Copies of this chain bind each other. A is one copy, B any other.
Amino acid sequence: MAQHVVIIGAVALGPKAACRFKRLEPDSTVTMIDKSNVISYGGCGIPYYVSGDISEPNELRSTIYHMVRDEGFFRNVKGVDVMARTEALSIDRTAKTVHVKNLDTGDEQDISYDKLVLATGSRPRRLPLPGADHKNVHVVADYNDAIAIREKIAKGQVGRAAIIGAGFIGLEMAEAFADMWGVETTVVEVFDQILPNLVSSNLAEMGMKQMQDNGVVFYLGEKVSAIEETADGLNLKTDKRDIPCDIVIMSAGVIPNSELASGAGLEVSNPGGAIVVNEYMQTTDPDIYAGGDNVLMPNLVSGKSGFYPLGSLANRQGRVIGSNLAGLQQTFPGAVGSFAVKMFECSVAGTGLSAAAAEKAGFDVDTAYVVQFDRAHFYPEKELLHIELVFEKKTGRVLGLQALGGKGLSAVGRVDAVASLLPYKPTVHDISNLELAYSPPFASAMDVLNAAGNVAENILAGRNKAISGQEFDELWAHRDTNNICFLDCREVEDARSTVEADPEHWLNIPHHQIKACLDQIPKDRPVVLVCNTGVRSFEAQLGLNAAGFNDTVNVQGGMSGLRNRGKF
């Protein structure tokens, strides 16, 4: 029987649900409502339009065959009616109507529905700062924001940009300003690392260093207190400094647009305000669906509910909703929280839980951090990948993977392999044996991912007594008092500059000579073992253990890790 579906919101999930539904039920009708005049665009592409990588804003809302997805497109090609510039004010669930207002004419009306979809998305969190309403303070909420920001840059009005928040949008916008336009760019983050809760401080420092090397300035652990107008622009005030700038981007997270839902008596999380849905993406009213940036999703790793405002989830969920509107009963059981972000020539990606997130979720965790080439080490084209496998100490269960690589797909590819696996609760042993496609131009025979599984196994078994780069920093900082022997296991020529800079604390014995040089190593002092990536130092550790040296640790990721964070 033909039905009438009303969809509120027409950016990502809404159009996907609408088109899928119309393909399944061509005789039914769909009305898609949006406040904006611009619908169905790739919001995640906004930083690349601002940067100039994408030249025309219409590219963000064009099909692959260059047709602009406007109201006419949806009406004529997809058979979906669109009411743009229309705001949904309230829902009457008993009458099954949505009360809407035309934002141009002010006319209001009720629209009946058989089924309703809340594709209302999220909005950027606007910090309640003095000066936050200045015309040069922007959020990156939608298509029109993108155009406004780029217009200011193109007109030469932006010499200095200040960005609040070092999450995905903040970092992408920082690159957009600094890379193509050469804008002096400063990022302020209230947490003490970029991408807080998403990656370890280890990977965060490496990523940040990449951006710093490209001219972006970071102030971490600082709180913005006000935005002031000055003679020559703006002043972003933090608790520690003044940052003069011409434009401020506020990218401090997003808030689900769930007021319509809660106003209609649907269940919404508190705190958080995300709409509660079941695995069919139905709200507590089975005729009303919701998905995308406004819903609560089970985390398939922690089992706890979370908020995952990611365009990839919105699209997949939109299709599930479209199917279910037509009676198919498809499920979307939850999210693992996969992400990727490009930072100049570097990529950071992750899936599942970071160590910090896992601890918050109540797991007792450890991390295997491995640095290895992304391809066979004898193949000429290759780059170092840094990956961190987070696992539960008690069970060896894998909880997450985070990776940092070059701007290609090395990091993302490894993350995807684990992302697809995570719902099945793999152990580190499964990662050791993961059968990735191998050929020297594409991977190693024992891939970096397998190596991470191997290291995790050795850590779990107590064979690999490892410390992180940050723990090394701490020991090194107190080297004058902690009586530690720092033993560099690299070849003499590789270790030379390090050792010569502080011969009092460093000892250099290449790992293959350690067995022959045991008498040079102090037995009564702790020994910290370092090599280039952590492989040889682990082997050295085993050799020392076998020889009765029991107070040893080796630095995961070795000098590669330290160097990429800007140490040594």
Which of A's residues lie within 8 Å of B, judged by CB? Answer: 12, 16, 23-24, 26-27, 42, 44-45, 48, 53-54, 59-60, 62, 64-67, 73, 76-77, 79, 168, 172, 310-316, 319-320, 330, 332-333, 335-342, 347, 349-351, 372-374, 376-380, 407-410, 412-421, 424, 429, 432-443, 445-447, 450, 454, 463, 490-491, 494, 511-512, 515, 531-533, 535-536, 539, 542-543, 546
Q: List 9 A-B contacts (CB under 8 A).
A: A44-B376, A45-B376, A48-B380, A65-B490, A311-B445, A338-B438, A342-B442, A351-B435, A409-B409
Do B48 and A379 have beta carbons less than 8 Å apart?
A: yes
Min CB gap A437→B, angstroms: 4
Given A316-B435, A413-B412, A433-B316, A340:B443 Cβ within 8 A = yes
Q: Are A376 and B42 in contact (CB under 8 A)?
A: yes
CB distance from A282 to the nearest CB of B (A): 17
Tell me the minimal C-beta distance from A427 to chain B in angstroms: 11
**A313 CA to B48 CA, complexed, in Å:** 41
CA distance A414 to B414 in the complex (A): 10
Known: A378-B54, A412-B413, A532-B65. A351 touches B26 (CB 8 A): no
- Whether A378 and B42, one on each chain, are in contact in the complex, defined by CB atoms closer than 8 angstroms, is yes
Residues of B within 8 A of A374 (CB): 409
In the complex, chain B residues whose CB is within 8 Å of the CB of A532: 65
Closest to A337 in B: B435
Contact A436:B376 (CB < 8 A) given known A412-B443, A413-B416, A420-B420: no
- Known contacts A44-B445, A319-B454, A439-B339; decide if A54 and B434 are in contact (CB<8 Å): no
A115–B193 alpha-carbon span in the complex (Å): 51
Residue picked from A12, A313, A417, A511, most chain B C-beta under 10 Å = A417
Q: Is the CB of A409 within 8 A of B342?
A: no
Q: Which residue of B lies closest to A419 (CB)?
A: B435
Known contacts A445-B312, A512-B76, A437 near B340 by CB under 8 Å: yes
A437 touches B412 (CB 8 A): yes
Partner of A542, one of B23, B417, B436: B23
* Residue pair A439, B44 in contact (C-beta under 8 Å): yes
Total identical chains:
2
Contacts of A337 in B (CB 8 A): 435
State the CA gap A206–B361 with chains docked (Å): 48
| Residue in chain B with minimal CB distance to A490 | B65
CB atoms of B312 and A436 under 8 A apart: yes
Q: Considering the chains assembled together, what is the distance between the CA atoms of A417 and B16 in angstroms?
A: 24
**B44 adjacent to A440 (CB under 8 Å):** yes
Q: How far, in angstroms, from A380 to B55 measured CA to CA in the complex?
A: 9
> Are B413 and A446 closer than 8 Å at their CB atoms?
no
Is B340 in contact with A439, judged by CB distance below 8 angstroms? yes
A24 to B461, CA, bound (A): 11
Residues in chain B near residue A335, CB distance under 8 A = 435
* Complex CA–CA separation, A360 to B377 (angstroms): 37
Residues of B within 8 A of A494 (CB): 65
Please indicate the chain B residues that have their CB under 8 angstroms from the CB of A53 in the complex: 379-380
Given known contacts A380-B53, A420-B418, A536-B65, A440 and B42 CB-to-CB distance under 8 angstroms: yes
Q: Which of A412, A414, A490 has the most CB of B within 10 A?
A: A412
CB pair A441–B380 under 8 Å, yes or no, is no
Expressed in whole angstroms, the Cα–Cα distance for A36 and B342 within the complex equals: 47
Choose one: B73, B341, B417, B535; the contact of A419 (CB below 8 Å): B417
Q: Apart from A45-B440, A339-B438, A339-B439, what 9 extra A-B contacts exist at CB < 8 Å?
A: A26-B546, A44-B376, A44-B445, A350-B437, A351-B435, A409-B413, A416-B436, A420-B420, A424-B424
Chain B's closest residue to A44 (CB) is B440
Contacts of A407 in B (CB 8 A): 441
Cβ of A77: which chain B residues have Cβ within 8 Å of it?
511-512, 539
Q: Which residue of B lies closest to A41 (CB)?
A: B378
Q: What 7 A-B pairs come out closest when comparing CB atoms? A: A413-B413, A312-B438, A340-B437, A77-B512, A26-B546, A409-B409, A416-B417
Residues of B within 8 Å of A490, CB to CB, are: 65
User: What B residues does A168 contact at CB under 8 A?
Assistant: 439
Q: Does the CB pair B419–A338 fall under 8 Å?
A: no
Q: Which of B319, B445, B512 contacts A42 (CB 8 A)?
A: B445
When chains A and B are docked, how far (Å) is the Cα of A441 from the Cα of B512?
42
Tell me which residues across on chain B come within 8 A of A24, comparing CB atoms. Answer: 463
How far, in angstroms, from A424 to B224 measured CA to CA in the complex?
A: 48
Bound complex: CA A313 to CA B445 (Å)? 8
Residues on B with C-beta less than 8 A from A446 are 16, 312, 315-316, 319
- Closest B residue to A541 by beta carbon equals B23
Bound-state CA distance A454–B23 (Å) is 13
Q: What are the residues of chain B within 8 A of A73 when measuring CB–CB?
A: 512
- With a CB–CB cut-off of 8 A, which chain B residues contact A433? 316, 320, 332-333
**Measured CA separation A172–B380 after assembly (Å):** 16
Kindly list chain B residues whose C-beta atoms are within 8 Å of the C-beta of A59.
378
The docked-state distance in angstroms from the alpha carbon of A77 to that of B540 is 10
Complex Cα distance, B64 from A378, in Å, reads 8
Residue of B whose beta carbon sits closest to that of A416: B417
By beta carbon, the residue of chain B nearest A338 is: B437
Q: In the complex, A347→B416 CA distance in Å?
A: 18
Contact partner, A442, options B310, B330, B340, B436, Cβ 8 Å: B340
